[in-house]
Structure 1
């Protein structure tokens, strides 16, 4: 991640770490990752509709920042190299993130730590992948992926988790048709949508968090 520019981090779907040991381990890994990559906590933004008020306060005490609303994964990097930490998130979140940053310039400045794209491809029928998660389907030939090392102590914490990045030369080698269709995903035919849509959170945050 040595681009010479300051990196930032966006974390989705961390979960209820006050009650869940797996989520606590994922939070600990995130904090160690930020330290290793020299990303200040104030440059890391989080959202999960499941966070309790106690958890929101704990994250703020750690110096992390909260995204102001449910973006459904549609976070544009706005020219800043960005690490997305999305362990065990729903497929639509990855698909939405790719759609929002659907250009060589944006994708080549992103790294995603989350569910293996290869695993998604292997588990879904190709027609379902192309219909419901078309941006994941289209990026498979433009992504590099390395699985996190397996450790039996953390098999439930990081199973099926990979580091994904998008080399500019691979993206530029994709056909022009790949980049021409940029319609926002709607998931109208999706039977098992794995994300909470904006407005369906069922609770409100406390004071408005800082804008990224």
Structure 2
């Protein structure tokens, strides 16, 4: 590729040894224009530049010769996707590629894979124009290498709020949800949205996460969720585990709104809409507006109410006991310092943390406890329940299970509703009588519950943690148990009883649990 020396020399500024190119297409906020960005590391190191150029060359060749890239090209050249590109181009011959949040290409292989794919696209398709890159963690060395690869590094942090003036391809693999939302918000008009092609995290996945209560990512996905109804999404096919970390849950997105009403967000109300009316029940027991006009009516009302609440009180103890088994206890309100730390963790992704991220252990910054589950150093263990008795707990367990299954890693599922011994085991390990579900242990270390796993998944940290675990085949289901992890006991056929011929009596089977089940020998051995 041609180097960036062909750019207009009047459009760059120098920061000691680093040249930062200012794109003429940048259309950012006035505040961003006032604060020019400079690399965190002001001086470029020639030796590191050479090594990084060699690394990128190897990475580009590896991607180009992979089955993943061949499948990628076939998918882009599919008539439906190719027509979508041409529809965005219109009468234009080229569209620029804007790359946000690429991460540190010097420190990590995943960003190098992602950048390699962008460079190969530029070489392959003549309708892709200039490439512009920005990530606040880029160093001067990385900026120089990007220039040598034909990219221009933006001089301001646009925070994803570029307002398009022409057909534009935004290449944003594994960025924060807030960046995608900012991009849509800045271009929330019929004509502008039709000029955008977005390569990034699956919007369908964000819609799935929005259905999980208390997912912090929902707060920054208003425009993402609203755009789902007029978005054509094509999921990127992953042919090899080598590229799973770099491109999992990535998709092409094409936007084609045709009516202004499609751009209304969920919380907006149309001007002609009427306020909702209360739906009152005809039952006098629950109708708070009822007025008692006679003694007989009052007596009947009080008797009915008394019977209802007496029956309700008799159920109260049973419900409370059931809730204590499965419901997640209400968290204590943290102090302001803890809230600030949590907010920082939520808003930073793996890429934004940059090279300093290596200072943290695998996931110790989320859970610093010393709780360990002996004998599980080679696996992922999830304590959960398959009972739907408490909706919130079941949804949390289901969400965690689906997140891990999305990575195709095998997990040791320990269902406390199928075997009470697992509940006692978890209580013993955590040292608590009332434990919440689910609880996750990775390589023997206690990670936490549903909120921690969702946070790790949404920020990309879970990808790194699971990188070394073996993957199962797509669509794999255990033939022995159907992924239930339990099968009826073969010794007693699930009856839990055996006939002792010597004594002539029935005895309890010692090989199965209280439900007459044993762990599946095919997938849990």
Are residue 142 (structure 1) and residue 296 (structure 2) matched? Answer: no
Q: Flag the 1:173–1:11 CA change in 2: closer, same or farther, 3 A.
A: same
1:155 aligned counterpart, secondary structure:
helix
Give 1:4's aligned residue: 91
Q: Flag the 1:131–1:21 CA change in 2: closer, same or farther, 3 A.
A: closer
Structure 1 position 193, deviation (Å): 2.5
For the 8 Å contact 1:13–1:86, the answer to whether it is kept is yes
Are residue 157 (structure 1) and residue 311 (structure 2) matched? Answer: no
Q: Flag the 1:129–1:48 CA change in 2: closer, same or farther, 3 A.
A: closer
Structure 1 position 22, deviation (Å): 1.1
Deviation string 1:117-164 (CA, Å, 9 cap, x unpaired) is 001111234776664321112111011100111222211110010000
Deviation string 1:24-82 (CA, Å, 9 cap, x unpaired) is 111110001112222566x111100111111000011122111111111001111x100
Give 2:141's aligned residue: 54
For the 8 Å contact 1:129–1:137, the answer to whether it is kept is no
For the 8 Å contact 2:190–2:259, the answer to whether it is kept is no
Are residue 117 (structure 1) and residue 271 (structure 2) matched? Answer: no
For the 8 Å contact 1:8–1:82, the answer to whether it is kept is yes
Taking structure 1 as the reference length, the TM-score comes to 0.78
Give 1:16's aligned residue: 104
For the 8 Å contact 2:102–2:114, the answer to whether it is kept is yes
Which consecutive unaligned segments of at least 5 residues does structure 1 have?
A: 182-189, 196-200, 202-212
Q: Distance in 2 between matches of 1:130 and 1:120?
A: 8
Q: Distance in 1 between matches of 2:207 and 2:262?
A: 22
Q: Distance in 2 between matches of 1:10 and 1:112?
A: 10
Q: Distance in 2 between matches of 1:25 and 1:138?
A: 31
Q: Distance in 2 between matches of 1:71 and 1:40?
A: 21
Q: Flag the 1:75–1:7 CA change in 2: closer, same or farther, 3 A.
A: same
Give 1:209's aligned residue: none
Q: Distance in 1 between matches of 2:263 and 2:199?
A: 27
Please list, as runs of the form range in 1=range in 2, the aligned pairs for 1:30-45 lying within 5 A after superposition: 30-39=118-127, 43-45=130-132
Q: Flag the 1:177–1:114 CA change in 2: closer, same or farther, 3 A.
A: closer
Taking structure 2 as the reference length, the TM-score comes to 0.33
Give 1:187's aligned residue: none
Are residue 72 (structure 1) and residue 226 (structure 2) matched? Answer: no
Q: Distance in 1 between matches of 2:95 and 2:263?
A: 31
Q: Flag the 1:177–1:143 CA change in 2: closer, same or farther, 3 A.
A: closer
For the 8 Å contact 2:202–2:250, the answer to whether it is kept is yes
1:16 aligned counterpart, secondary structure:
coil
Q: Flag the 1:67–1:99 CA change in 2: closer, same or farther, 3 A.
A: same
**Greater radius of gyration (CA):** 2
Deviation string 1:163-198 (CA, Å, 9 cap, x unpaired) is 00012xxx114626617x7xxxxxxxx952247xxx
Give 2:458's aligned residue: none
Match of 1:106 among 167, 192, 195: 192
Q: Distance in 1 between matches of 2:200 and 2:263?
A: 27
Q: Flag the 1:24–1:116 CA change in 2: closer, same or farther, 3 A.
A: same
For the 8 Å contact 1:23–1:157, the answer to whether it is kept is yes
Which consecutive unaligned segments of at least 5 residues does structure 2 have?
A: 1-84, 269-341, 355-525
1:54 aligned counterpart, secondary structure:
helix
Paired residues in the alignment total 184
Greater mean alpha carbon deviation, residues 124-133 or residues 68-77: 124-133
Q: Distance in 2 between matches of 1:194 and 1:174?
A: 34
For the 8 Å contact 2:206–2:221, the answer to whether it is kept is no
Q: Flag the 1:102–1:177 CA change in 2: closer, same or farther, 3 A.
A: closer
1:17 aligned counterpart, secondary structure:
coil
Higher relative contact order (CA 8 A, sep 6+): 1
